Amino acid sequence: MILSGHQLAIGYADRTVGENLDVALDTGEVLALLGPNGGGKTTLLKTLLGLLPPKAGDVRLDGRTLSARSIRERAQMIAYVPQTHIATFAFPVETVVLMGRSAHGNLFSRPSMHDRAVAAAVMERLGIAGLAERPYTMISGGERQMVLLARALAQEPQFIVLDEPTASLDFGNQGKVMAEIRGLAASGLGVLFTTHDPNHALRAADRAFLLRNGTRIGEGNVDDILTRERLQDLYQAPVETVVDPKTGEIAFLPGSPAVAPSP
Amino acid sequence: MTRSPLPGFLIALGVLVAGLLLAFTVGRYPVALGDLLQVLIAKLTGQPSTVPPAVESVIWQVRGPRVIAAVLVGAALAVAGSAFQGLFRNPLVSPDILGASSGAALGAVFGIFLSLGVFAIQFFAFLGGLIAVAAVYVIGSSVRSRDPILVLVLTGVVIGSLLGAGVGLLKYLADPYNQLPAMTFWLLGSLAAANVSDLVPLVGPVALGTLVLIALRWRMNAMSLPEEEARALGIATGPLRVAIVAAATLTTSASVATAGIIGWVGLVVPHLARSLVGPDFARLVPASAILGGGYLLLIDTLARTMAPVEVPLGILTAVVGTPFFIWLLANVQKTWS
């Protein structure tokens, strides 16, 4: 199954953020969306989720225009993991995860035994079963990210779209989230995520889509597309590459070296 | 912590039962608890009771309608309050936030100004509430904004202030001997005049609105999320929001039309209910209904017994509600987690 945008113009009623965007995501693969702040990453994400209507072009899901599907049908196929936030009400974690079952019940239905079983299974899978009774407002940022991921998985979707899933997480939790993203793709889901860190794309994604000022700068396999030159072009800022001499693996550092190498 | 909601529900029920017993027994004509039970049992079994007819009349004709009105109005305001708090993602909003109360107030004052009958006054109050909320909704949603909820709330404040000016004008123009006292009394809120005929326009709308809100309670958790998140979960937020606002407005307007302006119940009771059964709306909405009925019944009993002259209900709920609100404001982080 493929989620794709064709010749998309994205933006809001009063302004266009990006134009002529083609993007495709297959099930079983991970696509990372990279680019400077204000470049249209979140807008593109919301357009692909169907939360924002495209200003031109169309979004297709499994060959059919997204807007032709009901909001409920969409939610059964695409799940959204927003940036973590503090909730207004101190819902228990299990209640938050159960909200992911909304698209599978009707307007008046209480969560069924099956819904509860699905919620329990995804919490188990993400290692947060022990948090089920805790208030969502009382757990750590990393745990909260896992809860939102569990809620998305409870939708039993084909695609998961994550908005900066590693932002505001500590180093250890960033690694954990990336490992989960790989795991989701391995289990057959298509994953799209935005990030400010090209290293996260290197770690977790198959392909990367580079977006600046609403224009596609490049797209391709992470190993091919994520180069120092491309990233400097993308962010309009100096970038350094470091290479592990043993494995040959590379990573990027933002900015110039603190001390200029002596001639 | 999620715990069993049962103890919380039992406490709410306990408050309601205590309120019922107190309301029937205390007052200018005290009724012994034994007499009350005997009358109830006699009514249930169809046997003639040995209690003096005066006592029976106090129970059925004098206090009965008022007790039912208090329970219904309290439940309605509390349920509407919990729904609005979820919908507007803010534990500090109350049913009057969208202009329902001020619209109903203007309608009723207009009816009194025209020296109309009780029924017409109630009808105008009801109409005023619905028109005010519709106006707030239309104006609020025609303003383009990234934060439609905030715009809606602010529009409610603005329209409410305009309606308040209208009430002020009518009071200024009113006959100071006949109309003005009636307006003032009504604006302060009271159940003193509640009788069987008052209950007729109250029961239908209150029951309908409350039942709609209770039926939708499973979706209210997700409705308390940011709009886009709720939609990504598969919820058609637009139509559902209209349904919830309409139901809550219906219950609020009907309550105001019967009992006048009784503030703060919709703010205080959902919070108390939340501390009893937790924030999950599936439990919160029914718990608010039970607790709201008991709460207003207790306050109304206080209103008619604490002083030789009956104290207006709206004054008592404000005296309880205002410090509570300030406390809530200062402790909102703590109490919500």
What is the tens place of the pLDDT at every residue in A185-229? 999 999 999 999 999 999 999 999 999 999 999 999 999 999 999
Give chain A positions within 8 Å (CB) of B86. Answer: 89
- The answer to whether the CB of A145 falls within 8 A of the CB of A84 is yes
Report whether pLDDT(B94) > 90.
no
Which long-range contacts does B30-34 make (Cβ < 8 Å, 24+ apart)?
B31/B55, B31/B58, B31/B59
Confirm if A239 and A66 have CB atoms less than 8 A apart.
Answer: no
Asked if pLDDT for residue B128 goes beyond 50, the answer is yes
B234 close to A (CB below 8 A): yes
Q: Within a domain: residue B224?
A: yes
Q: Is B1 in Cβ contact with A90 (below 8 Å)? A: no
Task: Output the average pLDDT for chain A.
Answer: 93
Listing DSSP states for B241-252 in one string gives: HHHHHHHHHHHH
Give the confidence band of A168 by pLDDT, cuts at 50, 70, 90: confident
For residue A71, give the nearest of B219, B229, B231 by CB distance. B231
Q: What confidence tier does B53 reach under pLDDT thresholds 50, 70, 90? A: confident
Least confidently predicted of A79-83, A182-186, B10-14, B55-59: B55-59
**Of B97, B104, B95, nearest in space to B126 by CA:** B104
Q: Is residue A94 one of the residues assigned to a domain?
A: yes
Q: Do A82 and B226 touch (CB under 8 A)?
A: yes
Q: How much of chain B exceeds pLDDT 90, in percent?
A: 38
Average pLDDT over chain B, rounded to an integer? 87
Q: How far is CA A206 from CA A25, A31, A200, A253, B28, in A?
A: 11, 6, 11, 20, 81
* Range(s) of the domain holding residue B56: 6-336
- B101 in Cβ contact with B93 (< 8 Å): no
Interface pTM, i.e. ipTM? 0.91
The string of pLDDT tens digits covering residues B190-214 is 888 777 777 877 888 888 998 899 8
Give the CA radius of gyration of chain A: 19
Q: Using one digit for the tens of pLDDT, what is the confidence trace for A70-101?
A: 999 999 999 999 987 777 788 999 999 999 99
pLDDT higher than 60, residue B10: yes
In the predicted model, is pLDDT for residue A12 greater than 60? yes
Specify the number of domains making up chain B. 1
Q: Which of A59, A71, A101, A109 to mutate against chain B (most B CBs within 10 Å)?
A: A71
CATH for A69: 3.40.50.300
- Determine, yes or no, domain membership for A249: no
Q: What is the enclosing helix (H) or strand (E) of B288?
A: helix B281-305
Specify if A59 maps to a domain: yes
Q: What is the mean pLDDT of residues B104-125?
A: 87
C-beta separation of A56 from A8 below 8 A:
yes
- Rounded to whole angstroms, how far apart are CA atoms B155 and A115? 39
- With a pLDDT cut of 70, the percent of chain B lying above it is 97
What pLDDT score was predicted for residue B142?
85
Picking from B2, B90, B233, the nearest residue to A99 by CB comes out as B233
Which of the residue ranges A131-145, A225-239, B117-131 would you say has the lowest mean pLDDT?
A: B117-131
Residue A245 lies in a domain: no
Pick the closest to residue B13 from B277, B336, B331 (CA basis). B277
Per-residue confidence (pLDDT) for residue B335, from 0 to 100: 43
Q: Is residue B1 part of a domain?
A: no
Q: Domain residues for A72?
A: 2-226
Distance CA B252, CA B233 (A): 30
Taking the model in full, what pTM does it have? 0.87
Residue A241 lies in a domain: no
Least confident range from A76-80, A156-160, A163-167, B204-208: namely B204-208
Nearest CA in chain B to A71: B234
Confidence of residue B333 (pLDDT cuts 50, 70, 90): low
Classify residue A61: in a domain, yes or no. yes
Q: Tell which residue, B10, B50, B11, B13, has the closest CA to residue B32.
A: B50
In a domain, A191, yes or no: yes
pLDDT tens digits for range A105-134: 888 888 999 999 999 999 999 999 999 999
B295-308 average pLDDT score: 93
Q: How far is CA B260 from CA A196, B98, B190, B253, B317, in A?
A: 56, 17, 6, 9, 12
Q: Are strands A159-162 and A15-26 parallel, antiparallel or unpaired?
A: unpaired
CATH of the domain at B121: 1.10.3470.10
Per the structure, the count of domains in chain A is 1
pLDDT at residue B1 in the model: 40
- What average pLDDT does this structure show over B127-144? 86
User: Crossing angle, helix B179-188 and helix B148-173, to 10 degrees?
Assistant: 150
B176 token code pair: 């100071």
